[in-house]
């Protein structure tokens, strides 16, 4: 009976959350009333029956929050030899290992008091994360109420991995053109909570309070049994008594992981005896008694047969390699980005070469080495004119006046740049449902030439539903996805001035700079018409806006976008003027935030190499650590530099370079 009471409490709390704060109720009023009636019959004075409203208001969503349990990470090994060294050094004689699958997701923690979920916080830097409670109550595998017959309501913390299973990935993205890890992480952090119900939480660690004191589980297996008994989802695991057994389990998982219902990136090995783990201590905030055995980046040799060039809304021209199709990690790959022509020169790669290709982080195909250079090899020349519009190209110049690594097409009329601007508009405004294949189909089949064309789709609903998004497999968009895309677009008709300007995809003008310029030149740039009157050609206005050297550049971009702006307004997009006496927060308009990069990065890249990528993703690259900073990227995650110390003190999230690339 106690298990049924706990289940009823969780169902009622989740239903309340969806009813008060979600777009769709989980059940009918009659079904909800039946749950409350059953709970009242089993537990007449239950606290849950007295709750008015929803338990987790979303107004604190993504606010900074401090963890109450350790949220560190594990040291990693990548080979049998490295694992054997750890095993022989750390595992006691006749010691046992709990070996569990390492989910490829995002880590977070849930905090419970007297059975009720009080708060869920993303991992962040291990000390400070973001409050995701309003989203977490929708996760599968994470009850809103936790109790068991023996010890009653649960009080404590559960650390879990947020995973988008392959089945749910396909439900959200039928063409599966993204990857579940990044898509799942993005959903977890959405401010509107949309699609959070597709995520699954797998709990892998627990801290429990009993009679006012922390309970000692004694062993990892006792802890994992308790996690399962409380109703949480747990990852598949196995007891291993010897080095050979643990190695064999890793090999078994490595060879069969493509058949799993979710993505993993390794196997976590934990010494079963918790007292022994504690005695071993920590190194660089990582427990010596645990290790993450990561899968090696899968790779293969192939021959580079040709190359092509792709473009985007910024005008950047990116070289792509096409090679003989090769199987890597269970999938066939035949293309890889080459980044830029400086990277081509560094690799000394040419058409005809035998190259070694890996899937970086098991996702992105990347050429890392040339294995053979034949006599008859064809260089990959840097284009002197744009392959899409024949405009002469040049290297982008940074703010210091130095030539950068990015080759660009400067023409505002380049057709590829126009398509890129649609993508920029969609991404900047977080219009869900328009991925790569859908966008291509909108351009090719429905003739959508720019972002303004998106606002005609509600009048072409049937045509949109019939649109082919995968011609080879005959997949149509369908009525349900068409309706959801139209709904997402319609929700972005009434825009702020900052959102409108920052989403146009104009040279040197994102949301961050637009907000800073409006604030600096107040009140001269408080309306869209003011931006279109040529005020930025006035040196005094440009100076006050904080862009003395960019006034003409940005004004040229605004003038060049006249047709697009007129089209958006004609199709019903509205732009709210800013009240003349209103104060504009410079930091509040950041699209995704600000990023500071410090130290010598492992890849050898300079921080300016990331500037264009960050801007394209809606981030601003800054030099200082302040309380408004979103991420500090450290070359060494264990760094104790002044910037790292200040960031930790201020609660700024810390990233490695690898995590930065995953974020981008």
Q: What is the pLDDT of residues 328-350, one digit of tens each?
A: 766 788 888 887 888 899 899 99
CATH dotted code for 495-576:
1.10.150
pLDDT reported for residue 238: 95
Name residues whose C-beta falls within 8 Å of residue 308's C-beta, 6 or more positions apart in sequence.
319, 320, 322
Confidence of residue 493 (pLDDT cuts 50, 70, 90): very high
Count of beta carbons in the 10 Å neighbourhood of residue 82: 15
pLDDT of residue 379: 95
pLDDT band at 75 (very low <50, low <70, confident <90, very high): confident
- CATH class of the domain comprising 300-407: mainly beta
Q: What is the pLDDT of residue 361?
A: 52
Beta bridge partners of 622: 596
For the chain, domain boundaries: 1-55, 65-294, 300-407, 415-492, 495-576, 593-663
- Nearest 5°: CA angle at 406, between 400 and 412? 95
Let me know if domain 593-663 sits in CATH 2.60.40.420. no
pLDDT tens readout for residues 289-319: 999 998 877 788 999 999 999 887 778 888 9
Name the CATH superfamily, with its identifier, for domain 65-294.
DNA ligase/mRNA capping enzyme (3.30.470.30)
Q: Is domain 415-492 in CATH 1.10.10, yes or no?
A: no
Per residue in 597-635, pLDDT (tens digit) is: 988 887 777 787 787 678 766 678 888 888 778 888 888
pTM above 0.85, yes or no: no
Band of residue 585 on the pLDDT scale cut at 50, 70, 90? low
> In this predicted structure, what is the pLDDT of residue 53?
54
pLDDT grade for 588, boundaries at 50, 70 and 90:
very low
CATH architecture group of domain 1-55: Orthogonal Bundle (1.10)
**Residue pair 603/664 in contact by the 8 Å Cβ criterion:** no
Q: Tell me the backbone φ, ψ of residue 256, rounded to 5 degrees.
A: -115, 5
- Reduced 3-state DSSP string for 95-153: CCEEEEEEECCEEEEEEEECCEEEEEEECCCCCEEEECHHHHCCCECCCCECEECCCEE
Q: What is the pLDDT of residues 122-132, one digit of tens each?
A: 887 677 788 88
Identical topology for domains 495-576 and 593-663: no
**Is 60 exceeded by the pLDDT of residue 587?**
no
pLDDT tens for 448-481 read 888 999 999 999 999 999 888 877 777 888 888 8
């Amino acid at each position: 009976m106690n298990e049924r009471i706990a289940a009823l409490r969780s169902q009622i709390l989740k239903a309340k959350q969806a009813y008060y704060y979600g777009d769709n109720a989980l059940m009918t009023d009659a079904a909800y009333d039946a749950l409350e009636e059953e709970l009242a019959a089993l537990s007449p004075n239950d606290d849950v029956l007295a709750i008015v409203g929803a338990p987790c208001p979303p107004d604190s969503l993504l606010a900074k929050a401090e963890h109450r349990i350790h949220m560190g990470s594990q040291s990693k090994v990548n080979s049998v030899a490295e694992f054997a060294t750890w095993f022989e050094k750390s595992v006691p004689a006749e010691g046992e290992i709990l070996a569990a699958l390492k989910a490829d997701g995002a880590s977070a923690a849930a905090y419970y008091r007297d059975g009720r979920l009080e708060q869920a916080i993303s991992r962040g830097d291990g000390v400070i994360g973001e409050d995701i409670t309003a989203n977490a109550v929708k996760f599968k595998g994470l009850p809103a109420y936790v109790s068991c017959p023996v010890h009653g309501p649960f009080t404590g913390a559960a650390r879990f991995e947020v995973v988008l299973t392959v089945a749910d990935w396909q439900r959200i993205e039928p063409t599966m053109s993204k990857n579940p890890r990044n898509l799942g992480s993005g959903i977890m952090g959405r401010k509107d909570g949309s699609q959070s119900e597709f995520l699954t939480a797998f709990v892998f660690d627990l801290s429990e309070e009993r009679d006012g004191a922390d309970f000692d589980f004694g062993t990892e297996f006792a802890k994992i049994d308790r996690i399962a008994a409380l109703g949480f989802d747990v990852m598949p695991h196995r007891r291993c008594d010897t080095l050979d057994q643990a190695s064999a389990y890793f090999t078994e998982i490595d060879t069969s992981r493509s058949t799993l219902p979710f993505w993993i990136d390794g196997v976590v090995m934990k010494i079963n005896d918790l007292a022994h783990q504690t005695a071993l201590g920590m190194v660089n905030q990582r427990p010596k008694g645990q290790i993450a055995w990561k899968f090696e980046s899968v790779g293969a040799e192939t021959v580079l047969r040709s190359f092509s060039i792709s473009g985007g809304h910024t005008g950047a021209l990116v070289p792509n390699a096409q090679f003989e199709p090769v199987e890597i990690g269970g999938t066939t790959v035949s293309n890889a980005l080459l980044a830029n022509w400086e990277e081509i020169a560094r690799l000394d790669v040419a058409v005809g070469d035998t190259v070694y290709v890996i899937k970086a982080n098991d996702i992105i195909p990347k050429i890392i080495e040339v294995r053979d250079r034949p006599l008859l090899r064809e260089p990959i020349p840097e284009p002197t004119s744009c392959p899409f519009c024949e405009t002469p190209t040049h290297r982008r110049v940074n703010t210091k006046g130095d030539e950068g690594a990015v080759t660009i097409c400067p023409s505002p009329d380049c057709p590829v740049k126009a398509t890129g601007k649609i993508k920029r508009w969609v991404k900047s405004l977080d219009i869900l449902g328009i991925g790569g294949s859908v966008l291509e189909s909108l351009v090719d089949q429905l003739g959508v030439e720019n972002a303004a064309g998106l606002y005609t789709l509600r009048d072409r609903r049937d045509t949109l539903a019939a649109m082919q998004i995968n011609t080879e497999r005959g997949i149509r968009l369908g009525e349900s996805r068409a309706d959801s895309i139209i709904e997402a677009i319609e929700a972005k008709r009434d825009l702020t001035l900052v959102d409108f300007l920052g989403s146009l995809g104009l040279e040197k003008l994102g949301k961050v700079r637009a907000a800073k310029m409006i604030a600096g030149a107040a009140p001269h740039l408080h309306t869209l018409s003011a931006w279109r009157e040529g005020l930025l050609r006035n040196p005094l206005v440009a100076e006050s806006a904080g862009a003395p050297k960019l006034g003409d550049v940005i004004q040229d971009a605004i003038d060049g976008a006249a047709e697009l702006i007129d089209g958006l307004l004609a199709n019903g997009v509205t732009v709210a003027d800013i009240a003349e006496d209103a104060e504009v927060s410079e930091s509040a308009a950041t699209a995704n935030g600000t990023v500071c990069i410090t130290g010598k990065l492992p890849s050898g890249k300079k921080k300016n190499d990331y500037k264009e990528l960050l801007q394209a993703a809606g981030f601003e690259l800054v030099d200082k650590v302040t309380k408004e900073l979103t991420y500090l990227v450290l070359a060494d995650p264990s760094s104790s530099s002044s910037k790292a110390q200040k960031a930790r003190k201020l609660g700024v999230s810390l990233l490695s370079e690898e995590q930065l690339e995953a974020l981008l």
